[in-house]
Structure 1
Amino acid sequence: MSARTRRQKAALAENSEESEGSNGAAATPSKPSKKRGQSATPEEPRENIFLFAPNLIGYFRVVLAIASLYYMPLHPRTCSILYSISCLLDALDGYAARYFNQSTTFGAVLDMVTDRCTTSCLIVFLSSAWPRWAIVFQGLICLDLASHYMHMYATLSRGGSNESHKNVKATQSWLLYQYYHSKAVLFVCCALNELFFIGLYLLSFSSPILSPSLLQPIPDAKPSSIQPGNPAHPAPSSLFASPWSAGALEMARANKIDSFWPWAITGVSAPVMFFKQVVNVVQLVNASKMLAEGDLETRRINRNKKK
């Protein structure tokens, strides 16, 4: 076969492939060409919910709460300051969410979980400081957790994932409506409720009236715990190698807290704390009714489907 014949066959084969590509099913689709002056549609940037400003404040609250728990057994002043700052930031994250338009369901749940956990941990400490009142403190923890969990779950199940637990209608409960729709009422109730437990916490270090053995260890008693308020609470010199060590000095300072301000804080905040517990009871009952109404509606729909 001559070179000319081979070139002719190659040309014929190339022409046949081009014809199949333009008319046949084996043709590969070509990319659409951009028109002159037309720009491609930009992709919407994906937001990182976990790095929103209010959520970052929430993480910082968790860090402060953990730090306060670390200092809670022996350092009442440091613990109270860290705990109070964590509680005050609860108002700041809500303001940041509204200011930056970054209100999210994750942030709301993080905020509520942080509140419930920190308060519960503080009340657990009070239960160990005053064992005779442990059943009261345990009841407060159960009421707080149950009412907020059921209220949150009822709100989400009835209103959808975009519904806020603070959107309470006056027809559902007038008390809850006033509690959640007035920022001043909500802030005062939450702040003074936490102040009440902080006051009790400080009294566990400063009031011989509530804990007679706090500043007067029983003579010849074997030290069984370094927990302030324990009847066998030893002197600082028996806890540390040197009575002038930093730990011994801090414990000595802790046991010399004046009880006036803790009593004042506890007395002023006690009525608001009691009101907060009434709100928790109303919230628990209202959430139970909402869940029951949802169950009745679901049963009615299922009965209609079977007919």
Structure 2
Amino acid sequence: MSGVRTRRQAAAVSTPAKAPRAQAAMNGNGSAHKSAKKEPKENIFLFYPNIIGYSRIVLALASLYYMPLHPRTCSILYSVSCLLDALDGYAARYFEQSTRFGAVLDMVTDRCTTACLLVFLSSAWPRWALLFQGLISLDLASHYIHMYATLIMGGSDNSHKNVDKSRSWILNLYYTNKTFLFICCALNELFFIALYLLSFSSPYLSPSLLQVSNQGSGSTLQPGTPLSPTTSLLMNPHSAAALELARANKMDSFWPWVIVGVSFPIMAIKQGINVVQLVKASRWLAEGDIAMREAAGLPRKTKTR
């Protein structure tokens, strides 16, 4: 009996020593299990398509800086910014970096750059300011309501480019056919760029363009430069402003007129799509409101005569 008790006591003494090691192994704290490595967190703001989006903003701001006096430089910078709009989408698909932040950044950049150019055109031709202001309002309202309706009615995971044919075949074509989308957006911007160049070059649109009056010290500069720089800027004939104004005065308006004629139909189609987008998105929201009111049992009271 004493031998049996001794073996049992020995087993009891040895068991607690093994328990911590077994428990440590189960908890993954022992030498048998290595700690799992955490994957590095992605920085959405440094994705390649978003970096392209930032460069678009820089180029757009640079074009705005040169817009009042340097039509050639402004047009080049503005055009490159617009062309990069196609590159960021390709980069997002190639690197699998499509994000909601990138989609919003792209749309906001497009709306802001176009609005800034139309603001300049409103200053260049005050008689047409109401038309340009209307185009700005249509562009902003159309895309905002469409985006909002997509998030509310389609869900937060739904893209604003997912438009069913039953809702609108033209919007479905616009957002699913990349070639059609590119042509509409590119020629729409090209039309307004051509108008911008004509404000510096066309005597038909600006009869007194860049003609300095001999009476008094004021300048009769009209549409091309909304800031209407006075002769104080031209004190030095070798200054950047004076040289650019001299070059602008000799700018040929032939190609801007050709671009206007070619791009006008596409620009009209793009504005029509904006109208359709605005109407369809508004109706979609109204459908949701009706369903929500019916679910809530509204209206609760019905007036009777």
- With normalisation by structure 2, the TM-score equals 0.84
1:44 to 39, 63, 67: 39
Aligned CA-pair RMSD: 2.5
Count of equivalent residues: 277
Aligned CA distance change for structure 1 residues 39 and 230 (closer, same or farther; 3 Å)? closer
1:296 to 290, 293, 301: 290
Aligned CA distance change for structure 1 residues 90 and 231 (closer, same or farther; 3 Å)? closer
1:137 to 132, 136, 147: 132
2:60 to 61, 65, 69: 65
Aligned counterpart, 2:162? 167
**1:1-307 residue pairs with structure 2 within 5 A?**
32=27, 34=29, 37-220=32-215, 222-223=217-218, 228-229=223-224, 239-303=233-297
Distance 1:46 1:140 in 2: 42
| 1:34-90 alpha-carbon deviations (Å, 9 max, x no partner) | 455433232232111111110000000000000000000000000000000000000
Identity of aligned residues (%): 68
Counterpart of 1:303 in 2: which secondary structure?
Answer: coil
Aligned CA distance change for structure 1 residues 294 and 228 (closer, same or farther; 3 Å)? same
| 1:246-284 alpha-carbon deviations (Å, 9 max, x no partner) | 321122112221000111111110000000010000000
The offset of 1:298, in angstroms, is 1.6
Gaps of 5+ in 2: 1-15, 17-22, 301-305
The offset of 1:163, in angstroms, is 1.3
Query: Is the contact made by 1:223 and 1:232 (CA closer than 8 Å) also made in structure 2?
Result: no
Distance 2:205 2:173 in 1: 36
Query: Is the contact made by 2:118 and 2:192 (CA closer than 8 Å) also made in structure 1?
Result: yes
Distance 1:208 1:254 in 2: 12
- With normalisation by structure 1, the TM-score equals 0.84
Aligned CA distance change for structure 1 residues 207 and 288 (closer, same or farther; 3 Å)? same
Gaps of 5+ in 1: 1-21, 23-28
Distance 1:74 1:292 in 2: 47
Larger deviation, residues 290-299 vs 197-206: 290-299
The offset of 1:178, in angstroms, is 0.9
Distance 2:238 2:101 in 1: 48
AA in 1 matched with 2:266:
V
| 1:73-128 alpha-carbon deviations (Å, 9 max, x no partner) | 00000000000000000000000000111111110000000000000000000000
Distance 2:186 2:225 in 1: 29
